Structures are given as C-alpha cells and as structure tokens.
Amino acid sequence: MPFVTTADGTDIFYKDWGGGQPVVFSHGWPLSGDAWDVEMKLAADNGFRAIAHDRRGQGRSSQTWHGHDMDTYAADLAAVVDALGLDDVILVGHSTGGGEVVRFAAQHGGGRVAKIVTVGAVPPIMVKSDSNPDGTPIEVFDGIRAGVMADRSQYFMDLSEQFFGINKGSGVSQGQREQFWRLGMQMSLKAAYDCIAAFSETNFTDDLLALDVPVLICQGDADQIVPIADAALKSIDLVKNGTLKVYPGAPHGIAGAYQVALDRDLLEFWRS
C-alpha cells in the first residue's frame, strides 16, 4: 500500500486515483480518506487526479501516540504533497479536514494551492470563550471525550444519527451509519480523544485571513455537529476571495440528496 513517511517517522497512507490537476481531500473526525470515495471517483472520472490520505492515528496510517494537533496534521499533509510533487492543487476538506486544509494552505501552501473548498468545516474556531461568546461550550466537547472513553463503539453509532441528520428525517441509510461506525472504529483511542481538542480549540482566524486563492465555503444549515452560525457564516467574512454555499436542511455528514447537490457544486468549482 502507498505510504509517505513524515519527518517523525509516521507512515501516512494515501490513495491516488486518475490523472490531471490534483484534488487533495482531507477527511473529518473520526473517519478516514475512504469517506471521500464518491468525490474521488467524481474527480478522477472528470480528468482530475484525486488524492486522499488517512490522518495520523486514523484509517491505515500509523497509530502514533503524539502529534494529534492541527499543526502536525497540516505538516503531515505537506509531507504528502511534497512526496507526490504536487502543484496547482485544489484542496477539499470536510469538518476537521476543513481546518487542516486551511492551515496547510496558510502555512505550507507557498504558491502550490489553486483553490480551496471547505465543507461543514470547523474554522474559524468552535469552542466558546470570552473572545468567541457564540461558540459551543467546552462542556459539549468534554461530553464527547467522555463518550469516546466510556464506550467508543456505541458512542460512534449514536453519533451517526446527528451526524447524518437522521433524527431530522434525512433518510440516510443504515449502511451509511454502519460505514461511519466502521471508519470510526479504525481510529486509535488516543487519536480519537486528542483530536477533539484539535478540532474544537484551534483558532483558524489568521489562517483564513492569509488565504489569497478562491475559497468555496459549503455547509448545510441543519448541521448539528458544527453550527453554521459559528462556522461558515463567520469564515466567509474572513477570506478575501470567498463564495458561500448554504444547503437548506442539509446535515453535517455528506450523504443522500446533500451529497448529490454538493458534488455538482464541487465539480463546477473545480472546473471554473
């Protein structure tokens, strides 16, 4: 299987499909690059080179004890981009992956990034604080940590209901829920726990302000995982060249009718 070894010896697994301008996908918590399979095929079928990696501690990458923070995640992505010699890159990140691609572009992009797409992404910052009074209280993230530690398997199965908006009538299949659970259970417990702080407490404001390429910011207005009012609706005001796309009634997880609509917009943006 293809791996890139980072400076600290971590093996990062990646998938590489098709040929053409590279589209690099970054997944959300607690998933892996497999979460992007439909979009990877869409890209490869339409003349793009589709690449998706598994974040350290997730999927088929090394289950390291260290490095579960956004700076390291962005550096790992840079190692993949460097190893594959990629240029003129289109970045696509969902949820935690949206934070990862924004930080990568700001700190490692160096003229190599052509466009960025975030989908239900965590920037600018999720957790509530004096400087972010509309954010999500830390107690919510403490509850996620407690659920992961007490019974990770059942917690992931329960979480899939809100993730895909099943409790709001999204009609997402049981198979989609079980795939979410399966990918989540491939993640190490250490990575699952530490990544909660990474996605909730990292401040991406300066990263968003630094972006100088076209940015498509996508999110469903029924997202129960990353509240749109504190995510996409704030991020669009921080980027220089941004387009906001709101999907009425869409959840956090990319599936069903939301996926069909999103994929249509992704392809149009990639081609533009």
DSSP state of 46: T
Cβ neighbors of 72 (< 8 A, separation 6 or more) are 56
Active site residue 252: yes
Residue of 54, 207, 223, 230 marked catalytic: 223
Residue of 95, 160, 200, 235 marked catalytic: 95
Backbone angles phi, psi at 269, to 5 degrees: -70, -40
Q: If we measure between CA atoms, which residue out of 29, 21, 82, 38 comes closest to residue 194?
A: 29
In the three-class reduction of DSSP (H, G, I as helix; E, B as strand; rest coil), residue 215 is classed as: strand
Active site residue 223: yes
- Cβ density class 85-113: b for 16+ within 10 Å, e for less: ebeebbbbbbbbbbbbbbbbbbbbbeebb
Residue of 27, 68, 94, 252 marked catalytic: 252
Active site residue 94: no
Catalytic residues: 95, 223, 252
